[in-house]
Amino acid sequence: MSTMVARNRTGRMATRRSALEWRELIEAYQCSGEHRDAFCARHEVSVSSLSWWQWRLRQDRKTASGSDASISAPLFVEVEPDSTVNDQPSASTSWDVELDLGGGMTLRLRRPQC
């Protein structure tokens, strides 16, 4: 990583990072599980700079992909049944759930008849 060092407003040495370095730093933050303030202190980064670069890189990805869909959660995630749940059928073995998610999207869940 090639970084430039300059003096900030307080006269302390400040590190200038490239967009790639910010992307790597933000990925490290997201994987760290640390509180943002603690992560920023450990990496000598201001919270506002980290937040701004998160926003900036998100905007860059939106522009590159044409939408925010490519950086959001997966469209489908398979959920395995919990083996610890009692599999004895109840009095009612079928259920229907409809959840209006807004924006014309509805989530429908149906349990097949046994």
CATH of domain 4-71: 1.10.10
In Å, what is the CA distance from 62 to each residue of 56, 77, 112?
Answer: 10, 22, 39
Residue-wise pLDDT tens digits, 67-114: 555 556 666 677 666 665 555 555 555 567 888 888 888 888 877 665
Per-residue model confidence (pLDDT) at position 101: 86
Separation of alpha carbons 97 and 51, rounded Å: 38
Residue-wise pLDDT tens digits, 4-22: 554 555 556 667 888 889 9
- Can you give the residue ranges of every domain in the chain? 4-71
Please state, as a whole number, how many other Cβ atoms lie within 10 Å of the Cβ of residue 92.
Answer: 7
Residue-wise pLDDT tens digits, 54-69: 999 888 887 777 655 5
Closest to 37 (Cα-Cα) out of 28, 49, 46: 46
pLDDT of 35 > 70? The answer is yes
